[in-house]
């Protein structure tokens, strides 16, 4: 196990983890979940467990919609710096040149609506044809704004890739920087993360909805940053207030994804066995899980559609290793 900057290696027992249970979790993955590619666990600031399945430690993985949760951190940085005024700031003024919206209700859509998936955009679950047309369009931002909303802003949860991408474009408008450049300066460089691959739309905008490529170790670093409420190696990169706001339930009682009943600001929130977990999740079995009460961070990456047992490796087996 190699040293990760800001996250030194630690024997499991030294940070209160049972190595036998962690090994059992890895055997379960190797035996029953052949498309999982990594499982990493850190506790109390130490990297205690690291296993790879068919990939190298240095091989970046497509983290899919985990990207959204990292964009949420960037929104927090922009607010901290005064580049955004509030979550209730309207989105349209931050999208100059994006064209006139087709629905007058777009005037009401705020950053908060995009962060909580309540903008009124359709969900890819109920309208997969829309999601396919949006992502393949010549200008996904213009395409989204040209479509009528399916619900009044702020009233209904519709998980929307287009909404997350609009948020990324609005963030670029607010900061005056390309989203990837802002992320490099605000998060990647401070955490020692090499410039990652980030796919772009035909207009050159990084897809804020997904597709960012990070190594599992880099993802673990970002989880540790969240666990430490935005602090890394003695410096506050994201405000504590933002991390706590992003990871508290804003939409209780909604369960779009099995076992994740509540939604924050592009973060999923669950409380299981009296322990709260903050989850960033992505298609194909990508998970970043932070358990603040346990001082625990776990990462799992994969290459297939979410398997119903994938998250349970972290939610049950890894948590069961806490002594």
Chain segment 132-177, per-residue pLDDT in tens: 899 999 999 999 999 899 999 999 999 999 999 999 999 999 999 9
List 46's β-bridge partners, or say none.
43
Q: Is there a domain that residue 195 lies in? A: no
Residues 48 and 72 in one domain: no
- Note whether 172 and 178 are within 8 A (CB): yes
pLDDT at 272: 82
Q: Is there a domain that residue 118 lies in? A: yes
- Domain tally for the chain? 2
10: helix, strand or coil: coil
Tokens of 31: 């035996």
pLDDT at 236: 98
pLDDT at 126: 78
pLDDT at 68: 99
List 322's β-bridge partners, or say none.
17
Residues 60 and 85 in one domain: no
pLDDT at 5: 63
Q: In 3D, which of 153, 162, 170, 152 has the Cα closest to residue 123?
A: 162
Q: CA dihedral defined by 72, 304, 249, 155, rounded to 10 degrees? A: 90
Q: Is there a domain that residue 7 lies in? A: no
pLDDT band, very low/low/confident/very high, at 2 (cuts 50, 70, 90)? very low
Residues 164 and 122 in one domain: yes
pLDDT at 309: 57
Question: Of 175, 191, 222, which one is at a domain's C-terminal end?
Answer: 175
Buried b / exposed e across 22-41, counting CB within 10 Å, b at 16+? beebbebbeeebebbbbbbb
Residues 51 and 138 in one domain: no
Residues 33 and 135 in one domain: no
Residues 110 and 59 in one domain: no
| Backbone φ, ψ for residue 207 (5° rounding) | -70, 105
Question: Of 150, 175, 200, which one is at a domain's C-terminal end?
Answer: 175
- Note whether 207 and 198 are within 8 A (CB): yes
Question: Of 128, 149, 175, which one is at a domain's C-terminal end?
Answer: 175
26: helix, strand or coil: helix
Q: Is there a domain that residue 3 lies in? A: no
Q: Is there a domain that residue 201 lies in? A: no
Give the residue, 299 or 6, on which the prediction is more confident. Answer: 299
Residues 87 and 113 in one domain: yes
pLDDT band, very low/low/confident/very high, at 314 (cuts 50, 70, 90)? confident
Q: What percentage of the chain has pLDDT greater than the value 90?
A: 79
Q: What is the mean pLDDT of residues 87-113?
A: 93
Confidence check: pLDDT of 3 > 60: no
Residues 122 and 78 in one domain: yes
CA-CA distances (angstroms) from residue 219 to 175, 249, 295?
Answer: 24, 22, 16
Residues 170 and 78 in one domain: yes
pLDDT tens string 302-313? 986 655 557 788
Confidence check: pLDDT of 4 > 80: no
Q: What percentage of the chain has pLDDT greater than the value 70?
A: 94
Q: Is there a domain that residue 20 lies in? A: yes
135: containing domain: 68-175
Beta strand segments in 21-178, E: 36-43, 46-52, 61-62
Instruction: Report the alpha-carbon distance of residue 56 to residue 34 in Å, rounded.
Output: 16
Residues 221 and 126 in one domain: no
Q: What is the mean pLDDT of residues 54-61?
A: 96
CATH of residue 302's domain is 3.40.710.10
Q: Is there a domain that residue 203 lies in? A: no
Residues 60 and 134 in one domain: no
Which of the residue ranges 73-82, 92-101, 248-257 would you say has the lowest mean pLDDT? 248-257
Q: Is there a domain that residue 204 lies in? A: no
Contacts of 23 (CB under 8 A, 6+ apart): none
- Note whether 71 and 245 are within 8 A (CB): no
pTM, entire model: 0.95
pLDDT tens string 203-256? 999 999 999 999 999 999 999 999 999 999 999 999 999 999 999 999 865 555
Residues 31 and 80 in one domain: no
């Amino acid at each position: 196990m190699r040293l990760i900057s800001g996250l030194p290696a630690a024997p499991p027992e030294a940070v209160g983890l049972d190595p036998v249970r962690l090994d059992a979790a890895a055997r379960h993955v190797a035996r029953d979940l052949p498309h999982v590619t990594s499982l990493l666990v850190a506790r109390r600031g130490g990297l205690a467990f690291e296993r790879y399945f068919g990939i190298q430690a240095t091989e970046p993985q497509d983290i899919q919609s985990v990207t959204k949760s990292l964009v949420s951190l960037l929104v927090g940085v922009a607010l901290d710096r005064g580049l955004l005024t509030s979550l209730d700031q309207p989105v349209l003024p931050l999208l100059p040149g994006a064209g006139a919206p087709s629905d007058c209700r777009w005037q009401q859509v705020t950053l908060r609506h995009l962060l909580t998936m309540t903008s009124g955009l359709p969900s890819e679950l109920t309208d997969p044809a829309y999601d396919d047309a949006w992502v393949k369009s010549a200008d996904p931002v213009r395409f989204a704004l040209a479509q009528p909303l399916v619900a009044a802003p702020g009233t209904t949860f519709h998980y929307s890739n287009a909404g997350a991408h609009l948020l990324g474009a609005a963030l670029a408008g607010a900061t005056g920087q390309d989203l990837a450049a802002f992320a490099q300066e605000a998060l990647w460089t401070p955490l020692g993360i090499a410039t990652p691959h980030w796919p772009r739309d035909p207009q050159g905008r990084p897809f804020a909805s997904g597709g960012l490529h990070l190594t599992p170790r880099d993802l673990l670093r970002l989880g540790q940053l969240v666990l430490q409420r935005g602090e890394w190696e003695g410096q506050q990169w994201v405000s504590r207030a933002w991390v706590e706001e992003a990871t508290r339930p804003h939409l209780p009682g909604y369960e779009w994804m099995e076992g994740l009943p509540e939604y924050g600001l592009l973060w999923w929130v669950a409380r299981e066995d009296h322990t709260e977990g903050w989850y960033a999740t992505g298609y194909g079995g990508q998970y970043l899980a932070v358990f603040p009460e346990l001082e625990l961070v776990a990462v799992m990456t994969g290459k297939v559609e979410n398997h119903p047992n994938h998250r349970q490796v972290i939610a049950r087996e890894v948590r069961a290793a806490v002594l």
